[in-house]
Amino acid sequence: MVKSLSCCYLFFALTLLGTIPAMAQNECELTLSRAIEEFNAGHHYGIPAMLAPCLEKNQNKEWRQRAYLLLAETYLLLEDPFGAEKSYLEVLRANPEYLTDEKRDPIDLVYLSSKFTSTPIFTLSAKIGPNVSFVRTLLDRGTYTDDVKKRYILKPGFQVGVGVDWNYDDNLSVMLEGNFVFSAYRQRTTGIFGRDESSIFDRQTWVRIPVAVKYSASKGQYRPYGYAGFSWDLLLGDRATIQYKDQNYNPETNRVESIDRESPILKFKSKRNAFNHSVFIGGGVKYKVKLDYIFADLRYSFGMTNLVNKDNSIYDYKNKGDGTSESFQDSGDGTFRWAHVDDLFRMDNLFISVGYIHPLYKPRKLKKSHSKSVLRSIKKQGDEIKVD
């Protein structure tokens, strides 16, 4: 019996705790309704004191936005510019993307809003997605005297990245990113000694630091954007695997027999230029989710440097030691055991990314307001009314 009573008391206490915030919110809603009635009746002086208790305890952002809007209008009518400005700043803190409307709001409130902005100074982002690499040959090179055919095949890679935008205004920004990129390509060579084939699968690891100028739409649920920029590209690693298909004619069986071989992983970083750069263009669309965004992005990067270190493309002369060490000799395996030497080439990349954007809103008073444009709009409306 005692245990049952204890459970009942506990249930009652939890229920009461759950209803207290709702009761307080309903009470504040009634208070705001009464304040609006007082405002419409022209009783302005008592409104700040009426709303003060709820403003101290009610954390509902939608309610605070409506309450501070009412206070801003009240202080404007009471000719208290300091109170009006302070109240409108609180409106933007409750809803950083609130915008006045000349057709809906009192013109003095629209004029007041022109003195403020909540445009984020910085915007943070994170993204992930796939990529493909396009090899642009600058000089064809090879180890065969035969008339061989080469072709480069697209292979998928992926990238992850973070970024920060410095926003000049609602539309124009400067974007800086840090991206970790895995890229890859395959080169297939046919017609070696008439019938043989060779295939190299090359994989690169990069850190890329792109900077760009971006233009974005500032209104709507879907907001397209475009940008162009420059990237510093640091090659961290390059690993390759070579497959060779040796096809020999066997007169006893009267057919071609194939012997397939595959190399161990060959480290090609010493054969590459570590510091590279590229230019890129891109664009995408942001989808608004409350005060943040999710986005889809498409970017094409044009490699501007030859990726192959032509002076180091066979042996690793940078770390040759006395020139007879085992590591130095092994660095030439790609050429002397597997008959491969790189073409001189640049690499382009197509990046597809999805990600998340978090603006760091900062409601503040402008040093230079947009009041003149509002006054012109008021004058234009007045002229249109006279004409009508």
What's the pLDDT at 260? Answer: 87
What's the pLDDT at 329? Answer: 64
Confidence of residue 363 (pLDDT cuts 50, 70, 90): very high
Confidence of residue 340 (pLDDT cuts 50, 70, 90): confident
- Which DSSP letter does residue 343 get? P
Q: In the predicted model, is pLDDT for residue 284 greater than 70?
A: yes
Q: In the predicted model, is pLDDT for residue 378 greater than 80?
A: no
The token pair that represents 160 in the structure block = 């992850």
What's the pLDDT at 258? Answer: 76
Is the full-model pTM beyond 0.75? yes
CA distance 202 to 265: 10
Other beta carbons within 10 Å of 57: 11
What's the pLDDT at 338? Answer: 78
CA atoms lying within 13 Å on the CB side of residue 253: 7
Confidence of residue 21 (pLDDT cuts 50, 70, 90): low
CA distance 339 to 344: 16
Partners of 208 in beta bridges: 179, 233
Q: Are 304 and 277 in contact (CB under 8 A)?
A: yes
Domain architecture of the chain: domains with CATH: 11-118+364-387 (1.25.40), 122-360 (2.40.160.20)
Q: In the predicted model, is pLDDT for residue 109 greater than 80?
A: yes
**Range from 1-10, 258-267, 298-307, 361-370 that averages highest in pLDDT:** 298-307
Lowest mean pLDDT among 178-192, 266-280, 357-371: 357-371
Nearest one of 169, 63, 84 to 123, comparing CA atoms = 169
What's the pLDDT at 319? Answer: 67
Confidence of residue 17 (pLDDT cuts 50, 70, 90): very low
What's the pLDDT at 15? Answer: 47
pLDDT digits (tens, 9 = 90+) for 87-96: 999 999 999 9
More confident: 203 or 377: 203
More confident: 330 or 68: 68
The token pair that represents 323 in the structure block = 């020139």
The letter for the amino acid at 111 is: Y
What's the pLDDT at 58? Answer: 76
Q: Are 190 and 230 in contact (CB under 8 A)?
A: no
The token pair that represents 303 in the structure block = 């490699």
Non-local CB neighbours of 335 within 8 Å, separated by 6+ positions? 143, 314, 341
pLDDT digits (tens, 9 = 90+) for 161-220: 999 999 998 899 999 999 999 999 999 998 887 788 899 999 999 999 999 999 999 989
What's the pLDDT at 145? Answer: 67
Average pLDDT over residues 41-53: 94
More confident: 108 or 374: 108
**Range from 15-19, 284-288, 329-333 that averages highest in pLDDT:** 284-288
Instruction: For the chain, give the percent of residues with pLDDT over 70.
Output: 81
pLDDT digits (tens, 9 = 90+) for 49-107: 999 999 998 779 999 999 999 999 999 999 999 999 999 999 999 999 898 998 899 99
The token pair that represents 20 in the structure block = 């207290």
* Dihedral angle computed from the Cα positions of residues 40, 44, 46 and 48, in that order, rounded to the nearest 10 degrees: 100
More confident: 187 or 12: 187
What's the pLDDT at 259? Answer: 82
Supply φ then ψ for residue 369, to 5 degrees: -80, 170
CA distance 6 to 18: 18
Strands (DSSP E) contained in the chain are: 116-117, 122-139, 149-154, 156-167, 172-192, 196-216, 222-250, 255-262, 266-267, 275-289, 292-303, 344-360, 364-365
Partners of 279 in beta bridges: 230, 302
Supply φ then ψ for residue 343, to 5 degrees: -65, 155
DSSP secondary structure letters along 314-339: SS-GGG-TTTTSHHHHHTTHHHHTT-
Residue with tokens 């096809």: 247
Q: In the predicted model, is pLDDT for residue 16 greater than 50?
A: no
Q: In the predicted model, is pLDDT for residue 383 greater than 60?
A: no
CA distance 334 to 341: 7
Lowest mean pLDDT among 200-204, 248-252, 364-368: 248-252
Q: Are 70 and 32 in contact (CB under 8 A)?
A: yes
Residue with tokens 């920004």: 173
H or E segment and range at residue 379: helix 371-387
